[in-house]
Amino acid sequence: MSRECCGPEVPVIPEPVDACCGPSEPTGREEHEEVPPWWRDRALALPVVSGLLWVTGLILGWAGQQAPALIVFAVGLAAGAWTFVPGTIKRLVTAKGRGRLGVGLLMTIAAIGAVLLGHIGEAAALAFLFSIAETLEDRAMDRAQQGLRALLSLIPETARVARRGGEQMIPAADVRVLDVLIVGAGERVATDGVVTSGRSWVDTSAITGESIPVDVGPGDEMLAGSVNGSGTLNIEATADGRDNSLTKIVHLVEQAHATKGERARMADRIARPLVPLVLIAAALIVAFGFLVGDPSTWTERALVVLVAASPCALAIAVPVTVISAIGSASKFGVVIKSGAAFEQLGTIGRVAFDKTGTLTRNEPRVVTTHTSGEHTETDVLGLAAALEATSSHPLAEAITAAAPNRPEATDVRELPGHGLSGVVDGRRVRVGSPRWIDPQSLTGSATELSGQGMSLIVVEVEDQVIGVIGIRDELRPEAAEAILALRELGLSTVMLTGDNTRTAHAIAARAGIDEVHAEQLPEDKAEHIRHSTQQVPTAMIGDGINDAPALASATVGIAMGVTGSAAAVESADVAFTGSDLRLIPDALAHAKRGRAIMTSNIALALAIIVVLFPLALFGVLGLAAVVLVHEVAEVIVILNGVRASRSKRRAHPVHPMDARTSSSTDSVNVSA
């Protein structure tokens, strides 16, 4: 029926890169191993043990049990240090240039300095905080890589091809250019190609993201991963099974994740120049001691300087704020996967939306019905629904839902790629697209509805057209309110969609979107997002597999988690557990506030280092005073970071037009 709309190899997933410290250490998971829940994640075991031992040591110390406290601190230090010290030493030996230096090295030296000066509890705290932050970042990267396999699952393991000796089943990865694929009803297309014979409708939502299928016939192009409808198609392959539009999506996501891995976190960017400066200063202090003939005094001062310059408060500044803010966001349905994602979310200046399933409901519905005057809208819908009740086409569901009380049809026949015919109450009825059935006197109405971005169904009785039905995937009721709220925050908006230009502009106008880019393939969306992020930090919001490359390429990718595909959710940095678009401005405002708190915390931590450094260098403050100041600073940083847990959400009244309102209500809204 005609409606208008629009087991390969597993790729090598790039090794995550720490922007400051070089390649991250392996997490202990195999490439195909699923990321377990956090309570069963072995990678979190040592950081958690380190934290528990540190807290236990504090309790024992307060109780006056100094010797047991010292032992517990030492074991906790060893547990936390084991997660990053071996990697730090390895980088010192194998890496080149500034790749050898990083937060890990500074933490290692600071912990050693604290131990040499007898402050094992301070060293244990450093080891715990740094190990838990690094492990959580590694876990977020593992989940992102896991999402790539969801993309590859769309390609069937085998393909049916025509050979001289007849049909053969071969691995999909072995399909070559010019092979003729035979794709039956309901089967997925193994690779890109061109239809050589047969007619059908095809669900391309996995690639284009559009919920309304497209008719195909001889000469039409097909995309890998598309699902065939009711007919059988012969398709001549134009791409190998290992190199097609779907595997290209996977590679785009890979490249985007590799690029993101090179983006330093805020603390890393600060530590990059801090590490070599502190190390050089400590070495110069020791050398000065030998020059003046008092090496012991100046060596001790060098160690005190290392402790003074140790990023204890800096190590806490980011995690405390991030954990507080992320925990608060999760309470209203926003899951932020990592600290880096939270930091970037607070910088966003432009928001890009996918259309289908994000701005719209992803549920095609009857919007309006125009009649020839001799029949009522109820008659037209009833006759169309009588035939459509036997069809598996997605648009059939929209029509049957609009006419629950319908007559019975007999002798129903489906002509793939055209429409349906049958007998209702003794009359011969046909339903199909304007390409198959001439709208006759309703040509003007058909043109008008098509201009509004609707898919059309023409209803004909005894060779006379009695009505035209307009079907469209409608805008979410809260979309315009959410876009207005984003504009009030000073953010620009853009819509990227694989749908046709007319439909895209019609939806964008109703939502209030600033900029529209239609008929976009996944690689087009990703390229547009990459270009946008070079100009201004950009968030991409989507829910489909076709959005995965753009989500991964954005400064922050946001997936609509309830209806979103697994690949989209895993490729994104943030996932919404609900579908209310008004959460977007709330989440962005929350992140901006949290980032401001984080920035003030980092400024305080750096100020402590700047003040303590000269005081420690010239012996004004001894180790005890330096440690005391550090502890006070840590308490202040923690209290300030906890403020990020306060979320200021706007009240969102229930919208009068729910997602399940009747089609008549939609008709009123469209005409308005």
- Concatenating the DSSP letter of every residue in 602-641 gives HHHHHHHHHHHHHHHHTTSS-HHHHHHHHHHHHHHHHHHH
* Residue 287 in tokens: 């050398």
How crowded is residue 413: how many other Cβ atoms within 10 Å of its Cβ? Answer: 11
> What are residue 52's DSSP bridge partners?
none
| Integer angstrom CA distances of residue 170 from 154, 160, 163, 188, 506 | 17, 7, 11, 14, 44
| Integer angstrom CA distances of residue 221 from 71, 183, 187, 197, 230 | 70, 14, 16, 12, 17
Please say whether the beta carbons of 539 and 588 come within 8 A: yes
Please say whether the beta carbons of 640 and 322 come within 8 A: no
DSSP label at residue 356: I
| Integer angstrom CA distances of residue 398 from 174, 370, 381, 403, 470 | 39, 16, 10, 9, 10
Among residues 480, 571, 585, which one has the least CA distance to residue 525?
Answer: 571
- Concatenating the DSSP letter of every residue in 536-558 gives S-EEEEE-SGGGHHHHHHSSEEE
Rounded Cα–Cα distance for residues 25 and 6 (Å): 45
Please say whether the beta carbons of 585 and 486 come within 8 A: yes
3-class SS of residue 581: coil
Edge-to-edge strand list for the sheet holding 492-496 = 334-336, 574-576, 556-560, 538-542, 350-354, 492-496, 515-517
Rounded Cα–Cα distance for residues 505 and 485 (Å): 20
CA torsion through residues 149, 153, 155, 158, sign: positive
* Residue 408 in tokens: 């019975």
Q: Which residue has the tokens 């991250």?
A: 24
Q: Which of these is catalytic: 354, 573, 580, 666?
A: 354
Is 294 one of the catalytic residues? no
Residue 531, C-beta contacts closer than 8 angstroms, at least 6 positions apart: none
> What are residue 470's DSSP bridge partners?
368, 456
Please say whether the beta carbons of 340 and 267 come within 8 A: no
Length of the chain: 672
Q: Which residues of 21-32 are buried (b: 16+ CB within 10 A; e: fewer)?
A: bbbbbebebeee
Assign residue 230 a region (left: φ > 0; alpha: ψ between -120 and 50; beta: otherwise). Answer: alpha
Rounded Cα–Cα distance for residues 587 and 597 (Å): 15
Residue 496, C-beta contacts closer than 8 angstroms, at least 6 positions apart: 352, 353, 354, 355, 517, 520, 524, 525, 528, 529, 540, 550
Among residues 569, 571, 589, 570, which one has the least CA distance to residue 579?
Answer: 569
Q: Which residue has the tokens 């992803």?
A: 362
Just list the catalytic residues. Answer: 354
